[in-house]
Structure 1
């Protein structure tokens, strides 16, 4: 795809967007807390159903900022108003399945209305994802907030499916949207960094209240190694490749939908699972975790790695052998971890991730001649 003069001028993330992200730091913390208190199968479903509208509110604002110049009074105020709605949503999350369901629904609907109004001059904006948010998913969340648990879960799940399917349903209409190739990867990388930051909170928030003896400090070190390993996989081996994929794609719309809107939802969900798992492990290194905490810790890590298999295939039609193989190892180890001390569980996962990153480094170093050593294809990790 050729680069126009407008695209040649690199679009930068604005200060308003970065301030907006601070709301979602809090929102992710609230979703993690919800999952921490209820991490059985039903709790996982409820947390996911609540996380999707929070995430999609962020996605809608990011797309709006990508396709428009938002460094002006009107759009700054609009972004801040969406941020206020996001703050209301975050405050509602802990009681989303009790008395604050209506607040979550109304706050989400407000955010979608504001985003639609910011783009109201765009032809056909009603007949796309922004219109679907105002006319379908927003009302479903509001109505669900008035109902008991069972019907609420059904309606909120339908709202989440509406939001997630809208880019597919309106795929042809979105073909005319001119996405900026550098802004979008940076925004989604920042969102994932926020999610990874929650893993640090999961470590430090728990450890700060403990005795900090040698075993607990060892557990902190192992958990931090896991968090750093997850960061390394994305920001050393994948982020440049994702940006490159957008820049050269024949259809940026499809790359953005598959890699960023969908792929990063799974990446963030995996990291949140790991972060909640840390809260169950660091303060009590000699206690057995049980299946729920192991599922969050190892299942979240496996989901994160499996998603890289999906994104690499979507970008380059290549198999991420090392990441998929490591995900299989993590899942195979999980049942054996259920009755082991938390410190052993953490250390084992840390060793696996360090091993993966070492292997990726060696494969990348040997994958291409020196003149190609800085290309994005190499940066994706050299997995074949």
Structure 2
């Protein structure tokens, strides 16, 4: 590990502002259509946006993006991301070509910027996106209806599959381990911020009744509890796993790009449902709203089971149990007012955090860099 750890730059933080807009737009799509097909369409357009962000983050990890040329490259990708975000509300209607062509332009830029770093690794996410998924998204933008959805879904699937297929070739790439957990944690903060923003936006457009204000307070408690689950316990474990892994890519690939897709997808689902609860706090939630609220939280918590297994080959009993409890409460949520259902969810998350704080306290070291109990430490 280098003597001085690589830190996130101001250029990267500015670049992230584009993706605040993008996450808001994806959440809006999900808010407008809670159905399973609607959720699938939101996921299909979110994957390219997320993958463009991941590609830029990998570029920033391997290069000094405080240099003028690299900084301008990051901003150029950011402009492409902004066009994608602008196209999202009508991506399946009149703005499909803008969405697809913007993604292809972003991937061509990233391919040009990363070509030297991946010399000798011809099959990698940057070549696949520049020459396969980018053209597929652009062709999809020219198509209509189900053909567009099918082409974009195929492109999203290829983007997700390539890092797994190329994992052995990419193992030779020397990523800087301290920078990546910080970057992915910041993207998760963007998603959590969107959930808070959605709550405020919906509440501001309606009368400030006591029930609605209570719903805003409970929604904020849910967001805080989701933050707590990740940043108080899991973030330190990810840094520790990267520092001590024999092959960093074997942790980077499954835990960061793949694992955080699950985390962020769950948060976006919760954000979309939160808006519905605040809009109608005393009405019984519809089944699709309850599915987003409890199912999104279950996905978020269950993903910790996946990432912990990938890092330490141990089972995250508490979080998987809490995920199962969320799924068990899901069918019951439609029989109570939406505010009560969200309060029950908040209670589950607060109880989970309280239990983990109690059990992990005596295992934590002063630097809080390894807060998982019952996991054998590895020497670096």
Report TM bin, short chain: over 0.9
CA RMSD of aligned residues (A): 1.5
Are 2:263 and 2:300, in contact at CA under 8 Å, matched by a contact in 1?
yes
What are the ranges of 5 or more consecutive residues in structure 2 without an aligned counterpart?
none
| Distance in 2 of aligned mates of 1:31 and 1:223 | 19
CA positional deviation for 1:129: 1.1
Pick the aligned partner of 1:52 from 47, 56, 64.
Answer: 47
Judge which range, 186-195 or 169-178, deviates more. 169-178
CA positional deviation for 1:376: 2.9
CA positional deviation for 1:120: 2.7
Residue 50 of structure 1 aligns to a residue whose secondary structure is helix
Pick the aligned partner of 1:97 from 48, 69, 92.
Answer: 92
Q: Which residue of structure 1 lines up, in the alignment, with residue 78 of structure 2?
A: 83
Q: When the two structures are aligned, how many residues end up with a matched partner? A: 375
CA positional deviation for 1:64: 0.6
| Distance in 2 of aligned mates of 1:52 and 1:356 | 30
Are 1:364 and 1:382, in contact at CA under 8 Å, matched by a contact in 2?
no
| Distance in 2 of aligned mates of 1:199 and 1:125 | 39
Q: Which residue of structure 2 lines up, in the alignment, with residue 118 of structure 1?
A: 113
Judge which range, 151-160 or 272-281, deviates more. 151-160
Are 1:360 and 1:382, in contact at CA under 8 Å, matched by a contact in 2?
no
CA positional deviation for 1:374: 4.0
Pick the aligned partner of 2:342 from 346, 352, 356.
Answer: 346
Task: Tell whether 2:18 aligns with 1:23.
Answer: yes
Residue 64 of structure 2 aligns to a residue whose secondary structure is coil
CA positional deviation for 1:380: 3.6
Judge which range, 43-52 or 125-134, deviates more. 125-134
Deviations, residues 136-195 of structure 1 (Å, cap 9, x unaligned): 000000011111221111111111111111111211221111000100000000000000
Pick the aligned partner of 1:376 from 350, 357, 369.
Answer: 369
| Distance in 1 of aligned mates of 2:167 and 2:310 | 17
> Quick one: structure 1 residues 112 and 78, their matched pair in 2 at CA, closer, same or farther if it must change by over 3 Å?
same
Q: Which residue of structure 2 lines up, in the alignment, with residue 307 of structure 1?
A: 303
Give runs of aligned pairs for residues 240-279 of structure 1, distance below 5 A: 240-279=236-275
Q: Which residue of structure 1 lines up, in the alignment, with residue 226 of structure 2?
A: 230
| Distance in 2 of aligned mates of 1:320 and 1:374 | 22
The normalised TM-score by structure 1 is 0.95
Are 1:321 and 1:383, in contact at CA under 8 Å, matched by a contact in 2?
no
Are 2:121 and 2:170, in contact at CA under 8 Å, matched by a contact in 1?
no
Judge which range, 136-145 or 171-180, deviates more. 171-180
Deviations, residues 31-73 of structure 1 (Å, cap 9, x unaligned): 0001111110100110000000000000000001101122101
> Quick one: structure 1 residues 33 and 304, their matched pair in 2 at CA, closer, same or farther if it must change by over 3 Å?
same
CA positional deviation for 1:279: 0.6
Deviations, residues 339-377 of structure 1 (Å, cap 9, x unaligned): 3211111111111111111111111124x3x7x454533
Task: Tell whether 2:280 aligns with 1:284.
Answer: yes
What are the ranges of 5 or more consecutive residues in structure 1 without an aligned counterpart?
none
> Quick one: structure 1 residues 176 and 383, their matched pair in 2 at CA, closer, same or farther if it must change by over 3 Å?
closer
CA positional deviation for 1:135: 0.6
Q: Which residue of structure 1 lines up, in the alignment, with residue 31 of structure 2?
A: 36
Q: Which residue of structure 1 lines up, in the alignment, with residue 319 of structure 2?
A: 323
